[in-house]
Structure 1
Amino acid sequence: MKLYFSPPSPYSRKVRIVASLLGLDDRIELVATDTNNPADIVRWKNPLGKIPTLESDDGTCVYDSAVIVAFLDDLAGGGRVIPKERDARFAALTLEALADGLTDANLLQVYENRMRPENERSAGWVSYQREKVDRALAALEAAPPPAVSDAAQAHVGAIALASALGYLDLRFEGAWRAGHPRLVAWLEAFAAAVPAFAATKA
């Protein structure tokens, strides 16, 4: 299999952590991509030109990160990072959706400043995205997910959250940490329990 990815991408990191936890990383070739390059192969593998995109052994391409994670979990027998039990499954998937939304809002801020000329940037748009981030972090600080003390406990929601917080550290200099001590402690426990988190740092 081939994973079209970029090392700083939090969605790529999520998939890479999952692959490691499932023991599938040695079956996946990492193919670095440049989504801004119109000639990059990822645009032929995924019409949206987005990462990550997984190309399976039979040439079928799977995207986006949530679908790739489900594909890999199924490939590994199911119930490994996406719980089978109903309540646990939907709790994990809901946390994944919140973490992915947190990442979306952060990426949109980065892209607004990176992709638009300064005179075309919208301070209101950036503020709107930052408010989403603030609300998500406040909700997670008020009720952090259960601590991950063993890699076997790391479900897709926890993996997505760790990847989202890692992206905040990467692009926003860890400013989130000062006001969210419980979430910082959660991430430190996750990092200690899941070596793949450090191994996938950009």
Structure 2
Amino acid sequence: MKLHWSPRSPFVRKVAILLHETGLDAKVERVRSVAAIATPNAAIMVDNPLSQIPTLVLDDGTALYDSPVICEYLDTLHDGPRYFPAAGPARWAALQRQALADGMLAILLIWRQERMKAPGQQLPDWLTAFATKIAASLARLEADAPALANGHDIGHVTIGCLLSYLDYRFADLDWRAGHPALAAWHAAFEQRPSMVATRPDDAQT
């Protein structure tokens, strides 16, 4: 299998974590791919017309995207505990947590681009909306934090990626302030070998 990959994408990191957690890491060839929103990458578009990462290309040439689809496919290739519960309340809880954290990451990526603009070019209404949504979502995760101690699934992986991305790109927000239960959970989650092995690397271009 071939993975279009970047060392700093939180969505790629989610896939990389699952590869480590399931013992599949050695079975995937990583192809360093740059996927800028405004600059389509022709090499990626051969496999994914959206020019987005992560994109996983199977041995038969089938391309899978994006991270939820890739992760659920990888979860069928190992014999360990499943990261996508098969059915019932556990499945819906895992998928809901994944959707919330993925949605927050999507907001953060756009918010970061807006914050990088010169002050006169920024859209104040956008900045306010992004801040409001992230604050409300962090409050929801704080309320859910006690339940995160039970089990380990794709929801946990995605939330872990989200909070680490906040540390990486939005350290000034100090998300831990006012979210002690969530911060305690993340402090333990960050020590997992898969999290350590997949930390963003600014040394790679």
Q: Provide TM-score, normalisation by structure 1.
A: 0.89
- The amino acid of 1:58's aligned partner reads D
- Of residues 164, 167, 171, the one that matches 1:166 is 164
Partner residue of 2:196?
198
SS in 1 for 2:102: helix
SS in 2 for 1:45: coil
Map 1:179-198; keep pairs closer than 5 Å. 179-192=178-191, 194-198=192-196
- Of residues 83, 86, 93, the one that matches 2:85 is 83
Q: Tell me if the contact between 1:106 and 1:130 (Cα under 8 Å) persists in the aligned partners.
A: no
Question: Which digits, 9 at most, give the CA deviation of each residue in 1:73-95, with x for residues without a partner?
Answer: 12225961101241111110111
- Deviation, structure 1 residue 120: 3.3
Partner residue of 1:139?
140
Partner residue of 2:97?
95
Structure number with the higher helix fraction is: 1
Question: Which digits, 9 at most, give the CA deviation of each residue in 1:45-91, with x for residues without a partner?
Answer: 21111111111111111001000011111222596110124111111
Q: CA RMSD in A?
A: 1.9
Query: Which 5+ residue runs of structure 2 have no aligned equivalent?
Result: 201-205
Partner residue of 1:155?
153
- Deviation, structure 1 residue 189: 1.8
Partner residue of 1:57?
59
SS in 2 for 1:102: helix
Q: Tell me if the contact between 2:22 and 2:80 (Cα under 8 Å) persists in the aligned partners.
A: no
Q: Provide TM-score, normalisation by structure 2.
A: 0.88
Question: Which digits, 9 at most, give the CA deviation of each residue in 1:145-170, with x for residues without a partner?
Answer: 4226xxxx421000000000010000
SS in 2 for 1:74: coil
- Deviation, structure 1 residue 142: 2.1
SS in 2 for 1:82: coil
Where has structure 1 moved over 6 Å in runs of 4 or more? Answer: none
